[in-house]
């Protein structure tokens, strides 16, 4: 075995590889890739659009996080910025390029996962009609007031009147026995799914910038959805995507017939985004201005006429017309951040894809163009065409796969020994969190994950980034992550 010291400095048990917290330079593999559309967008124009003085919520959020982390004495005293190299982990894999599941096995995995879990759907097979009572039930499963105090941005607690106003915007069906036709659509912009049709953000603690408890998940471009309802103010749709249900803004959805979604799922001429995120910059003829769209890892793009000698791919990207109907526009995309078809499902590719998230800001529910722990894992597996649930508890407890279940009473040594038999790339689950297993080296189990922080000497250490750690780091109750593990899951089905 190649020594870990060849690539990683040894020292702290916490051994967190944090990339550029408080550093000026960002590694190339962590940069958002700019994809230039055709040859009409110049570097000068792009530079001007990036230097607008007005700060977005995303920029403010990340500046506040950096300030919070830089002033955390525990971080400054306890964390080294280790060198890292994905090749170490790859070189320690037996048969790194061995196919874990082939195309047909992945198709069967997805079918079985959807069949076994009533919160997952194949949208092309979704209902054409639903009773009003069923639509209301689905909405109220998501749009429910919290039992606990929740704070608005102004620091005030959400009141009963606040929730009443939100409830009135749900536009629940009055004729509960009537059949209502289901509409269908495709997401045209990266958008946020909310538990209520509102831009209001709420948090557990006053002034908490990292969490909006009304946020369910980011929904990516080209995501198919069933549209069950429209809000009273006509600004939101209640939708079902393959992994989640909730409210999304109408402006981000292009309406289409169900046949379009069926054809899209059958289409085998597509590319997959393999970088953590690409920013597609294009010129909008209708608006007469430069615009851009963010595509996350794992997003599918319809393509045609691929020239293997060219550095560009002709992609068909979803937009909508003035009547909100779905249309596709042809754009030339640089192929360096794309793969024709899904990536082969191998351990080497698992490592390479996961390492692209090192140093990325943590984003609860996909806020601020980032992702949380479960989306981190989900997006990696999207690149192989594998569909897993959105939330960590759903992944750990209900997704199919080869699962090793623990109870918290299992002793440390038995968990440690059993983990050694698990394969690299498996999801490791503790309450409220998921990590990807990298292997056991020099007596320690290594994982890669995006997370908020950990405890040391009963003090919270902010991280808020993607990092590599051991399972020795501790949670609030003083137990190590290893002690908290309740399941380890390999996503296979044969």
Confidence at residue 351, expressed as pLDDT on a 0 to 100 scale: 96
**What average pLDDT does the chain have?**
85
Q: How far is CA 53 from CA 49, 279, 281, in A?
A: 10, 19, 19
Identify whether 95 is part of a domain. Answer: yes
Q: Give yes or no: residues 280 and 204 share one domain.
A: yes
As beta bridge partners, residue 238 has 229, 247
Identify whether 48 is part of a domain. Answer: no
Confidence at residue 62, expressed as pLDDT on a 0 to 100 scale: 67
Which of 303, 322, 340 is where one domain is finished? 340
Confidence at residue 132, expressed as pLDDT on a 0 to 100 scale: 98
Q: pLDDT band at residue 7, thresholds of 50, 70 and 90? A: very low
153 vs 206: CA distance, rounded Å: 7
Identify whether 52 is part of a domain. Answer: no
Q: Give yes or no: residues 174 and 310 share one domain.
A: yes
Q: Give yes or no: residues 364 and 266 share one domain.
A: no
CA-based R_g, the chain, Å: 23
* Percent of the chain with pLDDT strictly greater than 90: 70
DSSP character at residue 209: S
To which residue do tokens 């992550």 refer? 481
Q: pLDDT band at residue 338, thresholds of 50, 70 and 90? A: very high
Which of 322, 340, 358 is where one domain is finished? 340
pLDDT at 181 over 60: yes
Confidence at residue 455, expressed as pLDDT on a 0 to 100 scale: 92
Confidence at residue 201, expressed as pLDDT on a 0 to 100 scale: 95
Q: Give yes or no: residues 286 and 196 share one domain.
A: yes
Identify whether 330 is part of a domain. Answer: yes
Identify whether 142 is part of a domain. Answer: yes
Expressed as residue numbers, the domain containing 468 is: 4-31+76-102+344-490
Cα dihedral sign for 413, 416, 417, 418?
A: positive
Which of 307, 324, 340 is where one domain is finished? 340
Domains contained in the chain, number: 2
Answer yes or no: are the C-beta atoms of 170 and 247 closer than 8 Å: no
Identify whether 53 is part of a domain. Answer: no
238 vs 247: CA distance, rounded Å: 4
Could you report the per-residue pLDDT of 22-81, keeping only the tens digit for each?
A: 332 323 343 344 433 333 332 222 222 233 334 566 666 666 666 655 545 444 333 333
Identify whether 44 is part of a domain. Answer: no
Q: Give yes or no: residues 93 and 134 share one domain.
A: no
Rounded mean pLDDT of 279-283? 90
Q: Give yes or no: residues 222 and 365 share one domain.
A: no
Residue 392's CATH number: 3.90.1720.10
Confidence at residue 77, expressed as pLDDT on a 0 to 100 scale: 36
Supply the pTM of this predicted model: 0.86
Q: Give yes or no: residues 480 and 391 share one domain.
A: yes
Q: Give yes or no: residues 274 and 350 share one domain.
A: no
Q: Range with the lowest mean pLDDT among 44-53, 125-134, 274-283, 404-413?
A: 44-53
106 vs 406: CA distance, rounded Å: 26
Q: Give yes or no: residues 357 and 323 share one domain.
A: no
How many CA atoms does the CB half-sphere of 243 hold within 13 Å?
A: 26
């Amino acid at each position: 075995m190649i020594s870990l010291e060849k690539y990683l400095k040894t020292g702290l048990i916490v051994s967190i590889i944090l990339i550029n917290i408080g550093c000026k330079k960002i590694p190339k593999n962590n940069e958002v890739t700019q994809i230039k559309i055709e040859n009409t967008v110049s570097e000068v124009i792009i530079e001007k659009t990036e230097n607008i003085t007005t700060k977005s919520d995303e920029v403010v959020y990340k500046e506040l996080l950096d300030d919070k982390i830089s002033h955390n004495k525990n971080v400054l005293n306890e964390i080294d910025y280790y060198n890292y190299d994905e090749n170490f982990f790859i070189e320690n894999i037996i048969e790194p390029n061995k196919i874990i599941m082939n195309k047909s096995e992945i198709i069967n995995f997805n079918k079985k996962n959807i069949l076994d879990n009533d919160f997952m759907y194949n949208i092309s097979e979704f209902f054409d009609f639903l009773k009003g009572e069923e639509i209301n039930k689905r909405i109220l499963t998501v749009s429910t007031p919290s039992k606990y105090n929740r704070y608005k941005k102004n620091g005030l607690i959400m009141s009963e009147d606040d929730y009443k106003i939100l409830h009135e915007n749900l536009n629940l069906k009055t004729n509960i026995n009537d059949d209502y036709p289901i509409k269908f659509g495709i997401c045209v912009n990266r958008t946020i799914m909310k538990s209520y049709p509102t831009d209001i953000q709420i948090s557990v603690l006053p002034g908490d910038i990292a969490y909006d408890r009304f946020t369910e998940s980011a929904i990516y471009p080209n995501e198919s959805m069933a549209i069950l309802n429209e809000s009273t103010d006509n600004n939101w749709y209640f939708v079902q995507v393959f992994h989640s249900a909730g409210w999304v803004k109408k402006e981000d959805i292009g309406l289409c017939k169900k046949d379009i979604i069926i054809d899209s799922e059958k289409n085998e001429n597509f590319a997959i985004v393999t970088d953590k995120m690409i920013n597609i910059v294009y010129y909008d003829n209708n608006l007469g201005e430069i615009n851009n769209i963010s595509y996350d890892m794992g997003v599918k793009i319809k393509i045609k006429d691929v020239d293997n000698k060219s550095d560009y791919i002709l992609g068909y990207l979803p937009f909508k017309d003035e009547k909100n109907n779905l249309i596709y526009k042809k754009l030339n995309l640089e192929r360096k951040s794309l793969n024709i078809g899904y990536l082969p499902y191998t351990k080497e590719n698992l490592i390479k894809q996961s390492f692209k998230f090192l140093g990325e800001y943590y984003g609860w529910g996909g806020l601020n163009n980032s992702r949380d722990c479960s989306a981190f894992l989900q997006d990696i597996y999207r690149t192989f065409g594998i569909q897993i649930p959105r939330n960590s508890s759903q992944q750990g407890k209900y997704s199919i796969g080869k699962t090793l279940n623990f109870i918290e009473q299992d002793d440390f040594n038995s968990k440690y020994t059993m983990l050694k038999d698990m394969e690299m790339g498996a999801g490791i689950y503790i309450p409220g969190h998921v990590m990807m297993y990298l292997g056991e080296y020099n007596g320690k189990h290594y994982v890669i994950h995006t997370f908020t922080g950990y405890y040391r000497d009963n003090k919270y250490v902010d991280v808020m980034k993607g990092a590599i750690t051991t399972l020795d780091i501790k949670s609030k109750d003083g137990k190590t992550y290893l002690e908290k593990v309740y399941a380890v899951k390999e996503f296979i089905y044969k």
